[in-house]
A and B are shown apart, each in its own frame.
Chain A
Amino acid sequence: AQSVAQPEDQVNVAEGNPLTVKCTYSVSGNPYLFWYVQYPNRGLQFLLKYITGDNLVKGSYGFEAEFNKSQTSFHLKKPSALVSDSALYFCAVRDRRGKLIFGQGTELSVKP
């Protein structure tokens, strides 16, 4: 069975500092990995995805993610955090038939 895990319920960073939100995956075959962000009382917004190719994926709002096959990880990163980045972040893997399987989410808090 395919799954993703987000080991941190909450991540706290200061504005201007780099941020990392962690995700590890377990899949059979090629992994199709996604990051979404959810603001309070809102739906999910797509940030980026890894399908194949370069291990460093660039996405929306200055976010990027690094795919690491040997560590089965797909961590979300941003060089300089903004207060407006505070939200709930979800990592997901897509199975071969199109279903997304989500992690439990990581709440990111960026303080001024």
Chain B
Amino acid sequence: DAGVTQSPTHLIKTRGQQVTLRCSPKSGHDTVSWYQQALGQGPQFIFQYYEEEERQRGNFPDRFSGHQFPNYSSELNVNALLLGDSALYLCASSYPTSGVSETQYFGPGTRLLVL
């Protein structure tokens, strides 16, 4: 049973560029959440997608956008990159109709470096 997968594993961009990160959820999961983890910090929630809609959003600017496809995979897009966007981007999948027992399972992350 494949877990959550993310691509690419590493990425180097320059300021002002745009980046797209990809995530495939764990088999049977239909909800994808994205988190940003800066060096030495805990993960911060960016947004969550369910049924191809953004269901909840954290305190991130509109430069951060996402998409969920009919097969439940998801993309995170960041426009006009800033040096401060350098971080590990984590994708997590879950099956929310499990109710209060919902557990998010994380992928290995994409390490983004903005120069």
Contact = CB atoms under 8 A, between A and B. Distances in A.
Interface residues of B, number: 29
A98 B106 contact: no
A39 B108 CA distance: 10
Contacts of A51: 100-101
Nearest to A48: B103
A96 to B, nearest CB: 9
Interface stretch (B38-46, B65-73, B77-85): B38-46
B55 to A, nearest CB: 7
Interface string B1-24: 000101000000000000000000
Contacts of B45: 99-101
Interface residues of A, number: 25
Contacts, number: 63
A112 B22 CA distance: 40
B102 A100 contact: no
A103 B58 CA distance: 16
B107 interface: yes
B5 to A, nearest CB: 10
Interface string B29-73: 001010100000111110010000001101000000000000000
Given A98-B48, A100-B43, A46 B103 contact: yes
Interface in A1-48: 30, 32, 34, 36, 41-46
A49 B104 CA distance: 11
Interface of B: 4, 6, 31, 33, 35, 41-45, 48, 55-56, 58, 90, 92, 94, 96, 100-109, 111
25 contacts: A34-B103, A36-B106, A43-B4, A43-B106, A44-B43, A44-B90, A46-B104, A46-B105, A51-B101, A90-B43, A92-B42, A94-B102, A97-B55, A97-B56, A98-B31, A98-B33, A98-B48, A98-B96, A99-B48, A99-B58, A100-B35, A100-B104, A102-B42, A102-B44, A105-B42
Which 10 residue pairs of A and B lie closest in terms of their CB atoms, listed nearest first? A102-B42, A44-B106, A43-B106, A43-B108, A99-B45, A43-B109, A97-B56, A102-B43, A104-B42, A43-B107
